[in-house]
Amino acid sequence: MTNAAPLYMQVEEALVARFGIDLHPGDRLPTEDELIEQFGVSRITVRRAIQNLATRNLVITRQGRGSFVAVPRISQPLTALTGFVEDMNSQGYSSGARVLLIDEILAPVEVRVALDLPLGACVTRIERVRLATGIPVSFDRTYLPLELGRLIAEDDLEHEPIFTLLENRHNTPLLEATYALQATTADKAVAQALDVEVGSAVFRIERTSYTTGQRPVDYEILHYRGDAITFTTRLPRSRTDSASTP
């Protein structure tokens, strides 16, 4: 290993790079002896790398059984409109995306209504798997009006998030969004995208994002692994006549 970073950090990041490729949630990491041989480092170095991964909640160590890849645990506050990359960065997870599909289709009824489009309008549809530390945690279907969608379709969607592209490259500020959250189960397409069993618990989120003039420009259906996401918020108690009566 020739990287300038400390050896334990090199081992740590080399293992993380394998997550979602040949190491998946629940898989056991190579043993200490295997890692020592593979990387040519000391046992102390290997143990520190594993300890750091455990501290980052990326692996779970079970006494006498070894260390296993964990599902990233994401806590997402519902207090502001943020994108996936912003959410991952705020929690110290590396993020990525795999683009599965980009095409143009006749807008389904719910998409046409959400984007306030006329009957017969077409939209750009984009399907992506969103990754945290290389592990699939969200399957996103995004629908955009054609004038924006055709621009976004030309961008590098595996490395650039749509929110950032809309705001910084295509002059479309995002000001607010409506959310609808539903607990459901993974159908075949969602299960395959998230690398889970059909019927696994997922959070289904419908999100419509608006630009200036209350114009809807981005409608998404997001499917998060149920074992990967926790949504949090803080709500004020609304004042009522009965609440103010002694």
Identify the pLDDT of residue 126.
98
Both 84 and 168 in one domain: the answer is yes
Structural domain for 169, as ranges:
74-232
- 74-77 and 229-232: which strand pairing? parallel
- Give the pLDDT band of residue 185 (cuts 50, 70, 90): very high
150 vs 134, 145, 234, CA distance in Å? 28, 8, 38
Both 191 and 169 in one domain: the answer is yes
Domain assignment present for residue 217? The answer is: yes
Phi, psi of 142 (to 5 degrees): -115, 135
Q: What is the mean pLDDT of residues 88-115?
A: 93
pTM of this prediction? 0.82
Q: Are 141 and 221 in contact (CB under 8 A)?
A: yes
Domain assignment present for residue 27? The answer is: yes
List the CATH number of the domain containing 20. 1.10.10.10
Both 161 and 39 in one domain: the answer is no
Both 83 and 31 in one domain: the answer is no
Q: What is the mean pLDDT of residues 175-194?
A: 96
Q: How far apart are CA 23 and CA 15, in angstroms?
A: 8
- The first and second tokens of residue 18, run together, are 């394998």
Question: What are the tens digits of pLDDT across the range 30-60?
Answer: 999 999 999 999 999 999 999 999 988 888 8
- Give the pLDDT band of residue 246 (cuts 50, 70, 90): low
Angle at 133 between CA 48 and CA 99, to 5 degrees: 160
Instruction: Order the strands of the 215-225 sheet from edge to edge.
Output: 95-106, 122-132, 135-145, 215-225, 201-211, 176-185
Instruction: Report the domain count for the chain.
Output: 2
